[in-house]
Amino acid sequence: MTYVVPTILVKNEHEFRRRVAAIGTYFNRAQIDVLDNTFVPAESFRDVRAIEYIRGDLQYEIDLMTRIDGYDLAQWNKPWVDKIIIHVEATAQADAVLKQIRAWGKRAFLSVNPDTSFTAMERYLPNADGVLFMTVKPGRSGNLFQPQVLDAIQAFRKKHPTVEIEVDGGVTLETMQSLLSVGVNGFAVGSFLDNEKMEEHALELVAAIEQFEQKNQQRKR
């Protein structure tokens, strides 16, 4: 199943509330991007106690764009979190961290930046439920799509035909078509699904996925 999950990358509680309200009208889940100026030079609103009360009815995946070693991972062990993503470049203990996430009954994903070879993730795949390719340089919403990642995803898909692949960054109607064609299953979408155009663009993305899947079925007949 191909899916779209809006991302939340905001600076304060007010922006978080507005983003949740916009997403919750059209989606049942969201991705919280956690930045603390350790892995990328930026920070985001990440107060777990506050989020606990303002999260609405959404289910969440947590993208930890932070140095993991020494980080309080357990603070995200919440019933409303069902997936946690760590970055392969941000930890020397990926296996142990992935196992811990799974031990909490959550899905564990491993992410890789555009400039890192996907081979850096392969040794950890037995303990991961899927992978996430960053298709922009992480740090802020609206960064430019990195087209070279398409070749990496295609090569990864050829080697690992059953692994779930999610992408994050620069997703639009145009880039989605290219990403679908190389085997992407999930799309974390930020700036294209801005609060004011949420309904319009959500419908466009869903329609694009449906059209692609219909064409795929026709080819297989």
What CA–CA distance (Å, rounded) separates 100 from 34?
18
Residue 181 or 1, more confident:
181
Q: What is the pLDDT of residue 221?
A: 67
Helix-strand-coil percent breakdown of the chain, rounded to 5? Answer: 40, 20, 35
The sign one gets for the Cα dihedral 122, 127, 133, 136 is negative
Does position 78 have pLDDT exceeding 70, yes or no? yes
What CA–CA distance (Å, rounded) separates 181 from 63?
24
Banded model confidence at residue 216, pLDDT cuts 50, 70, 90: confident
List the domains of the chain with CATH numbers: 3-220 (3.20.20.70)
Q: What is the residue type of 7? A: T
Banded model confidence at residue 190, pLDDT cuts 50, 70, 90: very high
CB 40 within 8 A of CB 33: no
- Burial of residue 75 (CB within 10 Å: 0-12, 13-18, 19+) is middle
Query: What mean pLDDT comes out for the span 50-55?
Result: 97
Of 178, 110, 189, the closest CA to residue 149 belongs to: 178
Q: What is the pLDDT of residue 143?
A: 72
Radius of gyration from C-alpha coordinates of the chain:
17
Average pLDDT of every residue of the chain:
95
Query: What mean pLDDT comes out for the span 55-75?
Result: 97
CB 5 within 8 A of CB 205: no
Q: What is the pTM of this model?
A: 0.95
* 115-147 pLDDT, tens digit each: 999 999 999 999 999 999 999 988 666 678 999
Q: What is the pLDDT of residue 128?
A: 98
